[in-house]
Copies of this chain bind each other. A is one copy, B any other.
């Protein structure tokens, strides 16, 4: 099966946004064993979208479109498909009812222009979109499939995984199984270097991806049955785990925060945080996990030294060692654990930038964790990237240390 991707949106051609949807879909097509030869970005212009669709129709069996499903006059994906196929759009009563319900549920009246989001052509079926107002289209005609999905990445990802991939399975030859191993504490090139010859294996294939929160090692196998493919993946996974060991913190959709949450919940333990350079970001990552209120009691974003002292960090520690010091991180961990009465207390302080602080360079980070088994403290230095990057990296470093501390692979001092 040959696929072609068409991303619609003048904002792509003005450079306001980058077409990461195409990247996501490319990766997914590779996994499904579907060949992809062309990707195009076209503006919100009916003639040009139709022209590109016509060519894709000639050279591909599967056309995947993103964008152009909004309610405005600029949103032309449906109109372009209708033109390509010579079919007429009509409002589908059931889709209209669902759309109106969605708006009334939000306490809003539906603008009439949104009605076109409830339209179909005879060859199209709607792909549900519970997280947005635009359903997708699944079009089958003359041995071709067109999938039209919203441009908003979160809506598109969900629709692709839940609606498109299952409908595509009859068309892919052989079954695929994929597992992602999530890696913390190593850069992408060290992961590749350590994996050595494995990286060149053919089936299963291995590929590494640097994500914002981890390095992903994606293992994909293709076999006659899903079970066989899964078995091949599991054998390869065992080899990779032997090499990367504790650096692998989870699989597939796991995050550092979700893994920590599972550990704490299993043990009925609790956590409190005192953070400064991360400014709430670390608490925000932890509380992004549903049910986190069962183990996360609270976070104190002590952005001033006064507030650190008010929350229990000894004045002497702040004065003698400075707000950015290992001693202060330890005192923060201790204070928040005491004050909130949690099993674990985590303290993190450092310099996010752009300016240095107390003569500590940008990127300095001190992290301390206090628990029943003792205290562990760690220092990271030398990041010179942007303020946002430093804050994100510091939060992830804290989560990784916490995970390893909970898993018993870091030895506390006392």
Q: For A285, what are the chain B residues with a Cβ–Cβ distance below 8 Å?
A: 280
Of chain B, the residue at the smallest CB distance from A19 is B19
Q: Is A12 an interface residue (CB 8 A)?
A: yes
Query: Is the beta-carbon distance between B38 and A42 smaller than 8 angstroms?
Result: yes
In this complex, the interface size class of chain A, counting residues with CB under 8 Å from chain B, is 35 or more
Query: Is the beta-carbon distance between A14 and B27 smaller than 8 angstroms?
Result: yes
Binds B, one of A87-95, A141-149, A165-173, A294-302: A294-302
Q: Is A283 an interface residue (CB 8 A)?
A: yes
Q: What residues of chain A have their CB less than 8 Å away from a CB belonging to chain B?
A: 10-20, 22-30, 36-43, 45, 48, 52, 55, 70-72, 74, 105-107, 111, 113-114, 131, 152, 154, 188-190, 192-193, 207-210, 216, 218, 273, 278-288, 290, 292-293, 296-304, 306-307, 310, 339-340, 352-355, 381-389, 391
Q: Which of B23, B288, B298, B306 contacts A302 (CB 8 A)?
A: B298
Query: Is the beta-carbon distance between A38 and B16 smaller than 8 angstroms?
Result: no
A288-B193 contact in complex given A22-B41, A38-B52, A283-B301, C-beta closer than 8 Å: no
Which of the listed residues A27, A37, A383 has the most CB atoms from chain B within 10 Å of its own CB?
A: A37
Q: For A38, what are the chain B residues with a Cβ–Cβ distance below 8 Å?
A: 40-42, 48, 52
Other A-B contacts than A13-B37, A154-B386, A290-B355, 11 sampled, CB-CB below 8 A, are A12-B39, A16-B209, A37-B43, A105-B382, A106-B382, A278-B284, A280-B285, A280-B287, A284-B284, A288-B391, A310-B339
Q: For A301, what are the chain B residues with a Cβ–Cβ distance below 8 Å?
A: 273, 280, 283, 287, 298-301
Inter-chain CA distance A381–B106, complex, in Å, is: 8
Q: For A300, what are the chain B residues with a Cβ–Cβ distance below 8 Å?
A: 298-301
* Number of copies of this kind of chain in the complex: 2
Which of the listed residues A13, A113, A152, A290 has the most CB atoms from chain B within 10 Å of its own CB?
A: A13
Tell me what chain A mostly uses at the interface: helix, strand, loop, or mixed: mixed
Query: What are 21 A-B contacts defined by CB distance under 8 Å?
Result: A13-B36, A14-B36, A14-B218, A15-B23, A15-B27, A16-B209, A37-B48, A106-B384, A111-B189, A114-B189, A154-B389, A279-B292, A280-B299, A283-B283, A283-B284, A284-B284, A287-B391, A288-B387, A297-B303, A298-B300, A298-B304
Within the complex, the shortest CB–CB distance from A11 to chain B, in Å, comes to: 6
Q: For A193, what are the chain B residues with a Cβ–Cβ distance below 8 Å?
A: 111, 113
Q: For A280, what are the chain B residues with a Cβ–Cβ distance below 8 Å?
A: 280-287, 299, 301
Within the complex, the shortest CB–CB distance from A358 to chain B, in Å, comes to: 12
Inter-chain CA distance A193–B112, complex, in Å, is: 11
Inter-chain CA distance A42–B39, complex, in Å, is: 7
Q: Which of B10, B11, B22, B354 contacts A19 (CB 8 A)?
A: B22
Which of the listed residues A188, A355, A387 has the most CB atoms from chain B within 10 Å of its own CB?
A: A387
Query: Is the beta-carbon distance between B207 and A16 smaller than 8 angstroms?
Result: yes
Q: Which of B26, B284, B307 contacts A15 (CB 8 A)?
A: B26
Q: For A290, what are the chain B residues with a Cβ–Cβ distance below 8 Å?
A: 353-355, 387
Query: Is the beta-carbon distance between A293 and B288 smaller than 8 angstroms?
Result: no
